[in-house]
Amino acid sequence: MTQPAANILLVDDEPSITEHLSAFLQRAGYGVRCAADGKAALQEVEKQAPDLMILDVLMPKMDGRAVLRTLRSQGSRLPVILLTQVGEAGERAMALEEGADDYLNKPFDPRELLARARAVLRRAQSSPVPLSSAWKITSAGLVLDRRARRAALNGKVINLTPKALSLLEYLMTHPDELITRERLLDAVWGWDYPAGTRAVDTRIAELRRALGDEAEEPRYIETVTGEGYRYRAAVEGEQ
């Protein structure tokens, strides 16, 4: 019998969502278990730790963020994708601070969720320390200290605006992913922020100047014409 690519724990209190998504993820080759609330999710993790948890935020008994905090306080590095509500930028920012590996706004296209799941699983397998929880991230001479909110290239601190630093952090924690300008706006600026996609291009240009990176022959940030950007250098996390 063929083994599933990975085991996913899908946690949501809406049966219509778990039924639809579990069938979709199983067709993609994943093993899927479901839980209807936060407490049941933690019990499922204790029974058999999954490779990835997809976790709704708004649930009875224990919400998704409380589940995430509990896991991280126990030292668990289980990769987690949070399903959040559209427009609540503060909620998403707090979720990432608390150790979520990624998030997706409801409603969403299941194909987008599948792409995020694959990316999170790939990152979890490639780095001994999950990038989402690493305090220091290194990549080809570039070091990002997330606690100090400081970046250095070849041992020399580089000056970046706060938004450019946040953008660099997001790109480095999602290496080798095609990330659209709209997703970067959502993640770094928040949809409630009055900025267009040109704001992303402006901050990317700032990063390239600081890193000495060339758009035509990029070492760090690659432009994907008509779509967005991809961080292409290898990345490792340190605690």
Residue 33 pLDDT > 60: yes
pLDDT of residue 91: 65
pLDDT at 168 over 90: yes
pLDDT over threshold 70, residue 150: yes
pLDDT in tens, 206-225: 999 999 999 999 999 999 99
Q: Output phi, psi for 105, to 5 deg.
A: -75, 140
Residue with tokens 């080798």: 176
* 232: confidence class by pLDDT, cuts 50, 70, 90: very high
In this structure, are residues 25 and 117 in contact, taking their beta carbons and an 8 Å threshold? yes
- The residue assigned the tokens 């069938």 is 23
Q: What is the pLDDT of residue 72?
A: 87
**Residue 153 clears pLDDT 90, i.e. is over it:** yes
pLDDT bin (cut points 50, 70, 90) of residue 156 is very high
Chain segment 188-207, per-residue pLDDT in tens: 887 556 667 888 999 999 99
pLDDT at 25: 96
Residues in CB range of 205: below 8 A, 6 or more apart: none
Residues 104-138: tens digit of each pLDDT = 888 889 999 999 999 899 888 776 777 877 889 99
Q: How far apart are CA 183 and CA 173, in angstroms?
A: 14
Does 88 score more than 60 pLDDT?
Answer: no
In this structure, the number of other CB atoms found within 10 A of the CB of residue 215 comes to 11
Give 60's DSSP letter.
Answer: S
